[in-house]
Structure 1
Amino acid sequence: MLKAALVALGRLDQEHAMVYFQVIWKGLREPMRRALEALVMERQIEGEERFPFVRELMDRSELKGLREGKLEGLREGELKGKRDTLLRLLARAGIALNANESARIHACTDLATLDRWIDNVLGAKTATDVLS
């Protein structure tokens, strides 16, 4: 199907081919994008540089994915750091956690909630005081 799409795009002028290629590219999931990229690269190696805009589009898409992945990684790191801080503070305060309370802390993905719980450790006597 991708080969047929490339053949059809090859019959269009550059401007229209670029628009339709972008529509196709944005509609594909990652495995099919890689397949399309491989087809385009294969044609470029064979000297058929019909779609010069394709490389730029694929590069932008790849950079966007890397950027989103990096941001997600930073967020996960921040969440882990706050969870670890909370657990250390609870341990130092001598506040024991049951399995449900521990699972609740590990499942929390809201930075503001974790910050509030960290603040609640001061003066708390029980895990319920902290996680309220």
Structure 2
Amino acid sequence: MVQAALAALGRLDQAHAMVYFQVIWSGLREPMRQALEALVMERQIEGEATFPPSLQRLIDRGKLEGVREGKLEGMREGKLEGVREGRLEGKRDTLLRLLARAGIVLTEDESARIQACTDVATLDRWIENVLGAKTATEVLS
């Protein structure tokens, strides 16, 4: 499967190959990521030019150096941080919608407190507190 993906990337221009490589990489589970990483590293170390030409050019130009130098790890961490931030934003949005629907008006400080919250458990607790609450103080306790 990994070799088929690499072969398919070889039919694309450099820009698209990089985009699709990253899409493929992010969709792989850890064992397949390790297999792809090992394949790229193995072929680079052995000096085999068995990659499709356009992918080989990417490797030769250092575009995939991240496999060796940990840049892909940074991409993974960045992606995880993005997912975490998206999750927090979704919970903040849910809380604000529920508060509005319940007719609970927030002060600027209360709104800022919600926007500044980076703890999922706290946001979950506040969301649950909306049920039956009459004031923002009851929700944010």
User: TM-score if structure 1 supplies the norm length?
Assistant: 0.56
**Alpha-carbon distance in structure 1 between the residues aligned to 2:121 and 2:106:** 21
Q: Which runs of 5+ in 1 are unaligned?
A: 1-54
Higher Cα Rg, which structure: 1
**Matched AA of 2:139:** V
After TM superposition, where is structure 1 displaced by more than 3 Å over at least 4 residues in a row?
55-58
**Matched AA of 2:134:** K
> Alignment partner of 2:110: what SS?
helix
2:127 to 118, 121, 126: 118
Aligned to 1:67: 76
Shift of 1:89: 0.1
**Alpha-carbon distance in structure 2 between the residues aligned to 1:117 and 1:63:** 36
**Matched AA of 2:124:** D
> Alignment partner of 1:125: what SS?
coil
1:108 matched to 2:137? The reply is no
User: TM-score if structure 2 supplies the norm length?
Assistant: 0.53
* Percent identity of paired positions between Structure 1 and Structure 2: 74
Shift of 1:59: 1.9
Aligned to 1:127: 136
> Alignment partner of 2:132: what SS?
coil
Aligned to 1:17: none
**Alpha-carbon distance in structure 1 between the residues aligned to 2:65 and 2:85:** 29
- Name the Cα RMSD after superposition: 1.5
Aligned to 1:95: 104
Deviations 1:68-126 (A, max 9, x none): 00000000000000000000000000000000000000000000000000000000000
**Alpha-carbon distance in structure 2 between the residues aligned to 1:91 and 1:58:** 46
